[in-house]
């Protein structure tokens, strides 16, 4: 997969451009790689290929302390050679969605796009209503990107997404960025961030034991989350299915990108992306 830099590099257009860390470049490469394989590979088999971005952002991002502006997940998904049949973008920040909508109208006026403003965990029914109904004459396959700042995605949302639907998921789990730093806060009985993320009220007891056994928190949460995904029939090939992204400054693990599918083809695509990105090359 050789891409021209125009796919990733962008310019200031006067609309909202949030700042990100430099490791975002690597994330965008991975997201774009998977989108290209999925949208082209599935084109002939599925009548409706749907892209959902639950934490869509505004379509562009600026690398912190630089003037480098990149197309972010939502615009990258529109830039694939074989566009999806429908796009559903959700963001809690109205300004992000307004900027994204203007950009899409300018660059991709004929694409089929729905916008939802609000917390994706609360708006999940509205999001699901935007997915066409499946029938044998009108089959539907969905790819959903989940890219929050922290562990704020709720397991119940992921469960609802996949109920009676085929949905492949690429989930950014900000273990290092969020879970690890805030563990002392989250471990308190009155904090339910990790309870909601795992859909489990009883993780604390297991964590206390695992911590004593020397397990690190990232491994613990990744294992707990993977086991929960298995309970939803995302059961195959879930071992070693993540890409770990490290911060450039301290080389600390910041987040894992984890992929889940109910079908082996999804994992074939993901394996290609993983092999290509395991030793990240940050040149666009």
Ligand X SMILES: C[S@@+](CC[C@H](N)C(=O)[O-])C[C@H]1O[C@@H](n2cnc3c(N)ncnc32)[C@H](O)[C@@H]1O
**What are the residues binding ligand X (CB under 6 A)?**
55-57, 61, 72-73, 90-93, 96, 119-121, 147-149, 152
Q: How far is the CB of 88 from ligand X (least distance, A)?
A: 12
Of 238 and 243, the one with the shorter C-beta distance to ligand X is 243
Q: How far is the CB of 98 from ligand X (least distance, A)?
A: 12
What residues contact 75, with CB distance under 8 A and at least 6 apart? Answer: 10, 59, 60, 100, 103, 104, 107
**Nearest CA to 226 among 193, 204, 200?**
200
Of 26 and 121, the one with the shorter C-beta distance to ligand X is 121
The greatest distance separating any two alpha carbons of the chain, rounded to the nearest whole angstrom, comes to 56
Of 77 and 131, the one with the shorter C-beta distance to ligand X is 77
Q: How far is the CB of 90 from ligand X (least distance, A)?
A: 5
Q: How far is the CB of 172 from ligand X (least distance, A)?
A: 7
Q: Which residues pair with 90 in a beta bridge?
A: 116
**What is the CB-side half-sphere exposure of residue 83 using CA atoms within 13 A?**
13
CA 103 to chain centre: 21
- Would you say 49 and 265 are in contact if contact means Cβ atoms under 8 Å apart? no
Q: How far is the CB of 274 from ligand X (least distance, A)?
A: 19
Of 167 and 172, the one with the shorter C-beta distance to ligand X is 172
Spatial separation of the C-alpha atoms in residues 236 and 267, rounded to whole Å: 9
**Local structure of residue 138 (DSSP, 8 states):** B
Spatial separation of the C-alpha atoms in residues 262 and 109, rounded to whole Å: 33
**Nearest CA to 104 among 84, 81, 79?**
79
Q: How far is the CB of 113 from ligand X (least distance, A)?
A: 15
Of 56 and 83, the one with the shorter C-beta distance to ligand X is 56
CA 195 to chain centre: 20
User: Closest residue (Cβ) to ligand X?
Assistant: 57
Of 45 and 185, the one with the shorter C-beta distance to ligand X is 185
């Amino acid at each position: 997969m050789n891409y021209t830099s125009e796919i990733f590099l962008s310019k200031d257009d006067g609309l909202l451009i949030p700042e990100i860390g430099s490791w975002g470049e690597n994330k965008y490469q991975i997201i774009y790689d998977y989108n290209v394989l999925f949208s082209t590979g599935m084109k002939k088999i599925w009548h409706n290929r749907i892209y959902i971005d639950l934490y869509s952002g505004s379509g562009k991002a600026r690398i912190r302390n630089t003037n480098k502006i990149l197309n972010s997940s939502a615009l990258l998904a529109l830039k694939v050679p074989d566009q999806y049949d429908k796009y559903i973008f959700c963001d809690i920040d109205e300004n992000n969605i307004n900027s994204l909508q203007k950009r899409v109208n300018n660059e991709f006026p004929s694409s089929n796009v729905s916008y939802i403003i609000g917390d994706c965990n609360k708006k999940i029914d509205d999001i699901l209503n935007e997915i066409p109904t499946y029938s044998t004459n009108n089959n539907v396959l969905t790819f959903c990107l989940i890219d929050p700042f922290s562990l704020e995605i709720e397991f119940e949302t992921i469960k609802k997404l996949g109920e009676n639907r085929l949905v492949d998921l690429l989930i950014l789990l900000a273990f290092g960025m969020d879970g690890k730093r805030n563990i002392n806060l989250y471990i308190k009985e009155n904090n339910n961030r990790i309870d909601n993320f795992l859909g489990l009220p009883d993780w604390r007891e297991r964590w206390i034991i695992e911590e004593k056994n020397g397990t690190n928190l990232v491994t613990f949460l990744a294992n707990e989350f993977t086991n929960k995904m298995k309970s939803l029939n995302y059961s195959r090939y879930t071992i070693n299915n993540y890409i770990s992204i490290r911060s450039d400054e301290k080389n600390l693990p910041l987040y894992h990108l984890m992929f889940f599918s109910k079908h082996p083809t999804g994992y074939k695509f993901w394996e290609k992306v993983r092999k290509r990105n395991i030793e990240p090359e940050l040149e666009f």
